[in-house]
Amino acid sequence: MMRSLLFVVAVWLATALAAKPVDDEVAVNAERLSRATLRAEAQTYVRKAMAYSRNGQNARWLRPICIESIGVTAEVGGIFTRRVAEVATHVGLSLAKPGCDPNLMLLFTRDAPAVIRAVGKRNSQMLAGLPPADRALLTRPGLPVRWWHHSAPEASDGRQFGPTGVGIGGIQGDISYNNYARASRIDAPSRVAITGAVVVVDIGLVGNVTPAALSDYIALVALSRVRMDPANRPSPSILQLFDPGKQAIAGFTPQDELFIESLYRTKANLDAAGQRAAMAGYIADEAIKAATPPQ
């Protein structure tokens, strides 16, 4: 189970204050951090964590998730599928019923680059929507875990975009149109939904990390579109699990927990910059709320 928000915030505040020369008695005194300070810390984490936006927005899961693991025994795979399901439920996502068609695949192998190259040859469209830099990372040797997501734009109320636009004579084409758009100065008429994801774990490269830490890592990269490039990780984060020279990470950091919560508890139909700002504001507000004594 994910830690309580109050515990998460307490550790977050303690981490932020650790760099400041304060007395031991006030080392975790929430009043010493303003909302602006908390928000700035959160913005830095969110900016470093999130991958490039698609369609000008940050994608998220908006439909029931059906998880399947391949390449390990059912007992071992269950450790990871259960954890992903637990985190998904915590942030308000629905799980598909038993017997569903998988839309989130956890693939365990001893040669991830070869598997991904084979996938690309078998179905050229599988990786076609990814930026060249991400496609290159997917087949680069040395990454213990790699992933990609499929996404699609839809109307802000969840209706699928029409295959044709209004006033073009009903001609079918490859472009999707939002036939349900409504003007607003605050909310966009569309959002981007993650429709599927694949997480590939290279068994020979994960080293001595614990199943608990690895399952948290998988859950974070499966349920949010975070950067795969290890060159600029947010800190502290489970995403640093495989970074050389880093202190051992047991699982989600407080920042990771608040990040995934903020992604799913802010509006989906915001532009990418607005979404990141809303997430940072959510994190700061929750920190202040949890640290404020009851009246």
Among 9, 48, 80, 78, which residue's Cα sits nearest to residue 257? 9
In Å, what is the CA distance from 246 to each residue of 13, 34, 142, 239, 252? 21, 29, 17, 11, 15
Per-residue tokens: 96: 């598909």
Backbone phi and psi for residue 135, each to the nearest 5 degrees, phi listed first: -60, -40
Residues 6+ apart with CB under 8 A from 140: 113
* Residues 148, 145: Cα–Cα separation, whole Å: 11
The SS3 call for residue 288 is helix
Each domain of the chain, given as residue ranges in start order, spans: 5-161+186-291
pLDDT interval class at 112 (50, 70, 90):
very high
275 pLDDT higher than 80: yes
SS (H, E, C) 173-240: CCCCECCCCCCCCCCCCEEEEEEEEEEEEEHHHCCCCCHHHHHHHHHHHHHCCECCCHHHCCCCCHHH
pLDDT interval class at 157 (50, 70, 90):
low
* Residues 282, 239: Cα–Cα separation, whole Å: 21
* Residues 284, 255: Cα–Cα separation, whole Å: 11
- Please state the pTM of the whole predicted model: 0.80
pLDDT interval class at 171 (50, 70, 90):
very low
Sign, Cα dihedral of 87, 248, 46, 105: negative
Backbone phi and psi for residue 286, each to the nearest 5 degrees, phi listed first: -65, -35
By mean pLDDT, which of 175-184, 195-204, 235-244, 280-289 is the weakest?
A: 175-184
Residue 173 has a pLDDT of: 34
Among 42, 37, 31, 90, which residue's Cα sits nearest to residue 65? 90
* 25-42 tens-digit pLDDT: 444 444 457 889 999 999
12 pLDDT higher than 80: no
* 228-273 tens-digit pLDDT: 988 888 988 999 999 887 778 899 998 899 999 999 999 999 999 9
SS (H, E, C) 41-101: HHHHHHHHHECCCECCECCEECCCECEEEECCCHHHHHHHHHHHHHHHHHCCCCECCCCCC
